[in-house]
């Protein structure tokens, strides 16, 4: 802390010498201006170091749960096994989509999974796994 104070004091003296040669402002006012500018610079530089929390979105889809999923299961069985679907579109009631991704800090998603399940008469007729999600997630 004393080094930072010394640096700010030194910079204010240098800035004071430069600015007083060109202006007729009070030296104390000039010193306050230089200190304010230095503090503004330090605060704005520290603002770029903001923590970004890890982000986990969607339903956790485990491979062992997917292995238990079979054609012919009912909607209730699928919901019990995988949980409520991430996308349950009222315009496409025969399709449920389960999407899951994990994003660590500012990096791209490290784990992505998208599973679509199609129904006919409340029974599973097709399971599509391994669909590609947007690479910029």
Could you tell me if 68 and 121 lie in one domain?
A: yes
Helix (H, G, I), strand (E, B) or coil at 23: coil
Question: Does residue 47 carry a pLDDT above 70?
Answer: no
pLDDT in tens, 8-28: 566 566 555 555 555 566 778
2-6, 18-22, 55-59, 123-127: which is most confident = 123-127
Contact 96, 117 (CB under 8 A): yes
Residue 11, pLDDT score = 59
Question: 17 and 66 share a domain?
Answer: no
With a threshold of 0.95, does the pTM exceed it?
A: no
Q: Report the CATH number that the domain containing residue 72 is assigned in CATH.
A: 3.30.1450
33, 68: one domain: no
* Same domain assignment for residues 73 and 12: no
22 is a domain residue: yes
CB 103 within 8 A of CB 54: yes
What would the mean pLDDT of 61-83 be, rounded to a whole number? Answer: 91
Judgement on whether residues 28 and 87 belong to the same structural domain of the protein: no
Q: Tell which wins on pLDDT, 44 or 18.
A: 44
pLDDT at 35 over 90: no
What is the β-pairing status of strands 123-128 and 55-58?
unpaired
DSSP code, position 121: T
Whether 18 is covered by a domain: the verdict is yes
Q: How many domains does the structure of the chain reveal?
A: 2
134: in domain = no
The count of residues in the chain is 137
Query: Which pLDDT belongs to residue 107?
Result: 76
| 69 vs 78: CA distance, rounded Å | 7
Mean pLDDT along residues 51-60: 79
The token duo for 41 is 């610079």
* 21 burial via Cβ count (<10 Å: 0-12, 13-18, 19+): exposed
HSE toward the beta carbon, residue 119, CA cutoff 13 A = 18
Return d(Cα 131, Cα 98) in angstroms, integer. Answer: 11
The answer to the question of residue 137 being in a domain is no
Q: Identify whether residues 10 and 73 lie together within a single domain.
A: no
Please report which confidence band the pLDDT of residue 69 belongs to, taking 50, 70 and 90 as the band edges: very high
Q: 28 lies in which domain range?
A: 2-46
Task: Give the DSSP letter string of 66-105.
Answer: HHH--TT-BHHHHHHHH-S-SB--TT-TTEEEEEEEEE-T
Tell me, yes or no, whether 19 and 66 share the same domain.
Answer: no
């Amino acid at each position: 802390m004393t080094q930072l104070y010394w640096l700010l004091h030194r910079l204010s003296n240098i800035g004071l010498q430069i600015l007083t040669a060109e202006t007729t402002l009070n030296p104390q006012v000039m010193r306050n201006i230089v200190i304010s500018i230095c503090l503004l610079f330090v605060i704005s530089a520290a603002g770029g170091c903001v923590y970004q929390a890890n982000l986990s979105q969607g339903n956790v889809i485990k491979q062992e749960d997917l292995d238990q999923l079979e054609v012919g299961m009912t909607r209730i069985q699928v919901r019990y096994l995988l949980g409520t679907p991430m996308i349950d579109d009222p315009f496409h009631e025969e399709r449920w989509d389960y999407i899951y991704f994990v994003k660590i800090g500012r990096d791209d998603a490290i784990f992505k999974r998208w599973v679509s399940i199609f129904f006919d008469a409340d029974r599973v007729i097709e399971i599509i796994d391994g669909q590609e999600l947007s690479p910029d997630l």
